[in-house]
Amino acid sequence: MNRVVVITGASAGIGAAVARELGRRGDSLVLAARTADALQQVAAGISSPTRVVTADVTRRGDVERLRDEAMCAFGHVDVWINNAGRGIVRPVLELTDEDVDEMMAVNVKSALYGMQAIVPIFIERRRGHVINMSSFLGRVPIASPRSAYSAAKAALNSLTANLRMDLQRTHPDIHVSVVMPGLVATDFATHARGSTGPVPPGAVGSPMKPQSAEDVAAAVADLIDHPVAELYTNPASAALAARYFEDVGRFERDAQSR
């Protein structure tokens, strides 16, 4: 079944990998990001119908325009993937107002705007799928310098769950999912606010092996075909999260000893 899929943050990393994966199977795509040239490069490698929309998804008006252009291009939207995000490398006690504001704007408000833009359309059609790209760090603090990023992703997890609860009884065919990758081999950390390199200083070790963006993209494609509420893309993630919540104190003591 070919679908119409909107992907924000599609110019690089996981977003671009998801676009390529879905394009290979023939889905029609609407790709959004701030950088037109990078978006065009991604689109050039996709053979399925693709529309490129330059947008800053921290602006509600841009997100609404993205929805309108998708509807104009393809007549409907089946899946909306809120993937835009930015990291940070700053301990809690060094966070500034600007740090926190940017993390919330890019990682939470952009997704909120996306949900508020597309879900009313889904309600009219009585079906659709929202996928919010979060992070394992929104559940388990294994990289404390990512502080405000982790907090923003925790907020995104909560918003996603609350929307799902709002819809599940009256609109069972509207799916709302959160995807939580672990360590992914992209340039995301390099471009984080305050970054001095690809590995955050002081990050706590993890038993999880890095995944490729293509691994995450394959998991997202399967999620579209088989919707679930929450998806950890790394098989070790769910067990690690469970261990954290079972005994926070022990988990943190063990982490510090590694």
Closest CA to 254 of 148, 145, 146, 141: 141
149 is an active site residue: yes
Q: Closest Cα partner for 39 from 59, 13, 71? A: 13
Contact 13, 189 (CB under 8 A): no
Domain ranges across the chain: 4-257
Note the pLDDT of residue 204.
Answer: 42
pLDDT of residue 198: 53
Which residue type sits at 165?
Answer: M
Homologous superfamily of domain range 4-257: NAD(P)-binding Rossmann-like Domain (3.40.50.720)
Distance CA 83, CA 230 (A): 15
pTM for the full model? 0.92
* Catalytic-role residue among 113, 149, 232, 244: 149
**CB neighbour list of residue 245: distance below 8 Å, 6 or more residues apart:** none
Low-confidence ranges of the chain (pLDDT < 70): 185-208, 258
Type of residue numbered 43: A
Give the containing element (helix H, strand E) for 225: helix 213-225
pLDDT of residue 202: 39
The per-residue pLDDT for 227 is: 98
Closest CA to 54 of 3, 11, 5: 11
The rounded distance, in Å, linking the Cα atoms of 240 and 238 is 5
The per-residue pLDDT for 186 is 58
pLDDT at 236: 82
Q: Is the dihedral of CA 18, 22, 23, 28 positive or negative?
A: negative
Each residue of 21-48: pLDDT tens digit?
A: 999 999 999 999 999 999 999 999 999 9
